């Protein structure tokens, strides 16, 4: 599949649409009927991670010995030289006594010095890791601050560039960041992992006069530095992922609005002001939909912002990056292919959904990133349901099946279905679509919409501002439903194949059973006549039911349950 070029939607790979559609017919179709052998799965999942990825991904003792409290990042950006310099004051509490911690900064950037008070600290660099040594042991329970000074010429990396020095169409500087896959340490020093977040953060960004910096959080003032630069200050009042921290530097025009007490601020290129005012009218109903299902926007003190960028989009917390060209759909195209996508702007609806799942509820390891992407894709369906009704939502979510590759489990797993944490390895793009279709399946398993909406709201509310793993999701749903949903989660998340319902017909009778990788797989589903579905409870053992329907007339509700059906 090396001939396919992949693109990232927000952090994850989504096939470059046109190429994907044209190449699909040439690819083997892994439709779920094809169960890959264990060896084939192992070959696809266990590619040994690089030393650099292990250093980045592993939550080592040198990370686990401390708990982040805050960052105070100051950066000066010189567009003419394409050079940055600055410092990050990193405050943390020691969880155990220790003389060394791991921080991270891309090898392409220079460590100027690292201070603890007035003491200059020794450090050792190994690819992107910076191991900082303290002359005396830091004590468990005590809080410390190190000031990390750095500078350099950031190298463009990843599809959205990490930190890029671009020009807008009128030739003015346009400098933005986007670094989910490569990590925030591509442009600033931090503890670059997913498990631990600061509780709050300050950003002060100096840019040449005439440009503006829009970062995360609440704007707290600007200051003319008297040397041709102006410093723009922002304060983040909540926990934040490293990769969400963003610079957006341009000659932006600003307009604003409110939804209740929530401030809405929009920063766009001056030429696009009128288009933006029309397109961003979608923001309020989108926020209303998500607040309806999950509760209040998670970052009220920081406000909601949309910021125009030269790439497609990214869920930068409280400052969502927007680059969908003021068109509906996905760059103007019908994303789900069923006539619904063009009713809304994919980037506004998807990236903003991440404020709830990704930014407020966060995966503790990249292996479990479906918690961001599966849930946010499901939220697209909820947005459709809120505005256009459930039938359209079900149609939309099922339309996304066209994007499925069924190549690897959506949680990074070994051949036995055991999660591989700590390798900085991004899951397959199926985490979006299969994730959403699994959640839609769970809704049908619960089979009580009032209960379902209560459950997902509770799920969000229980885990907001926390970093969690798949096990936490499964425990929550098991406890709150009183059902054993573990086999269902395991089959969809940790295996390539989806459950297959085998049906055998005899006159007046149909026999059924599940075929799945997970032992003792069981899941109820609806079958028979679509105008009056009957719920059956198949297991891996054959059972039978009476039916007057023949093989052709006997249906399975495959729009409500993402399953494969085989009729004999
Ligand atoms: Zn996303």
12 Cα to the center of ligand 1, angstroms: 7
Name beta bridge partners: 219.
234
284 Cα to the center of ligand 1, angstroms: 20
Model pTM score: 0.92
8 Cα to the center of ligand 1, angstroms: 9
pLDDT of residue 9: 41
Share of residues in the chain with pLDDT > 90 (%): 89
Residues with CB under 5 A from ligand 1 (ion): 10, 373, 376
| CA distances to 44, 107, 404, 417, 566 from 500, in Å | 22, 48, 17, 18, 7
How far is it, in rounded angstroms, from Cα 214 to Cα 224?
16
The conformational region for residue 135 under phi > 0 = left, psi -120 to 50 = alpha, else beta, is: alpha
57 Cα to the center of ligand 1, angstroms: 20
pLDDT tens per residue across span 228-269 = 999 999 999 999 999 999 999 999 999 999 999 999 999 999
464 Cα to the center of ligand 1, angstroms: 17
pLDDT tens per residue across span 378-436 = 999 999 999 999 999 999 999 999 999 999 999 998 888 889 999 999 999 999 999 99
Which of 39-48, 379-388, 463-472 is predicted least confidently? Answer: 39-48
The conformational region for residue 548 under phi > 0 = left, psi -120 to 50 = alpha, else beta, is: alpha
pLDDT of residue 42: 41
**Residue 262, number of CB atoms within 10 A of its CB:** 18
Cα–Cα nearest to 360, from 399, 315, 308 = 315
pLDDT of residue 161: 87
- Is pLDDT of 7 > 90? no
- Is pLDDT of 39 > 60? no
- Measure the CA angle with vertex 90, ends 85 and 91; round to 5°: 160
506 Cα to the center of ligand 1, angstroms: 46
Give the single-character DSSP code of 431.
Answer: H
How far is it, in rounded angstroms, from Cα 279 to Cα 328?
8
Residues 544, 548, 553, 555: what is their CA dihedral angle, to the nearest 10 degrees? -40
358 Cα to the center of ligand 1, angstroms: 8
pLDDT of residue 158: 83
């Amino acid at each position: 599949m090396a001939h396919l070029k992949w693109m990232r939607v927000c952090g994850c790979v989504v096939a470059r649409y046109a190429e994907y559609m044209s190449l699909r017919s040439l690819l083997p179709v892994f439709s779920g009927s094809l169960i890959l052998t264990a060896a084939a799965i192992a070959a696809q999942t266990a590619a040994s991670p690089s030393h650099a990825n292990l250093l980045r991904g592993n939550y080592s003792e040198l990370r686990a010995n401390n708990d982040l409290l805050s960052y105070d990042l100051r950066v000066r950006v010189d567009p003419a030289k394409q050079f940055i310099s600055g410092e990050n004051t990193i405050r943390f509490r020691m969880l155990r006594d220790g003389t060394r911690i791991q921080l991270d900064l891309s090898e392409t950037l220079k460590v100027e010095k690292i201070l603890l008070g007035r003491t200059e600290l020794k450090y050792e660099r190994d690819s992107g890791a910076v191991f900082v040594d303290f002359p005396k042991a830091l004590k468990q329970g005590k809080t410390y601050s190190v000031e990390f000074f750095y500078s350099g010429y950031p190298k463009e990396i990843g599809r959205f560039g990490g930190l890029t020095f671009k020009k807008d169409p009128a030739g003015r500087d346009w400098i933005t960041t986007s670094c989910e896959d490569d990590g925030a340490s591509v442009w600033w020093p931090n503890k670059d992992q997913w498990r631990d977040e600061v509780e709050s953060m300050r950003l002060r960004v100096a840019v040449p006069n005439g440009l503006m910096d829009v970062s995360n959080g609440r704007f707290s003032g600007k200051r003319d530095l008297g040397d041709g630069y102006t410093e723009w200050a922002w304060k983040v009042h909540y926990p934040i992922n490293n990769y969400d921290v963003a610079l957006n530097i341009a000659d932006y025009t600003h307009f604003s609005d409110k939804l209740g007490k929530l401030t809405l601020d929009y920063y766009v290129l001056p030429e696009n002001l009128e288009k933006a005012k029309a397109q961003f009218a979608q923001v309020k109903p989108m926020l209303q939909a998500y607040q309806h299902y999950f509760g209040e926007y998670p970052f009220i003190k920081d406000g909601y912002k949309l910021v125009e960028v030269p790439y497609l989009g990214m869920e930068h917390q409280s400052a969502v990056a927007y680059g969908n060209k003021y068109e509906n759909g996905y760059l103007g195209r019908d994303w789900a292919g069923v006539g619904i996508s063009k009713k809304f702007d994919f980037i506004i609806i998807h990236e903003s959904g991440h404020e709830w799942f990704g930014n407020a509820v966060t995966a503790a390891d990249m292996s479990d990133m479906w918690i961001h992407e599966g849930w946010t894709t499901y939220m697209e369906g909820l947005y459709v349901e809120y505005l256009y009704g459930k039938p359209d939502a079900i149609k939309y979510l099922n339309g996304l099946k066209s994007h499925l590759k069924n190549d690897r489990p959506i949680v990074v797993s070994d051949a036995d279905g055991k999660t591989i944490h700590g390798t900085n390895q991004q899951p397959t793009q199926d985490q979006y679509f299969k994730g959403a279709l699994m959640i839609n399946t769970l809704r049908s398993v619960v089979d009580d919409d009032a209960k379902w909406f209560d459950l997902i709201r509770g799920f969000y509310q229980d885990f907001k501002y926390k970093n969690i793993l798949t096990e936490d999701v499964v425990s929550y749903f098991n406890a709150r439903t009183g059902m054993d949903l573990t086999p269902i989660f395991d089959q969809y998340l940790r295996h390539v194949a989806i459950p297959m319902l085998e049906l055998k017909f005899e006159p007046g009778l149909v026999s059924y059973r599940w075929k799945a990788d997970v032992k003792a797989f069981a899941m109820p589903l609806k079958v028979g006549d679509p105008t009056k579905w009957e719920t059956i409870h198949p297991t891996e053992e054959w059972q039978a039911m009476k039916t007057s329907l023949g093989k052709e007339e006997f249906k399975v509700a495959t729009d409500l349950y993402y399953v494969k059906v085989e009729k004999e």
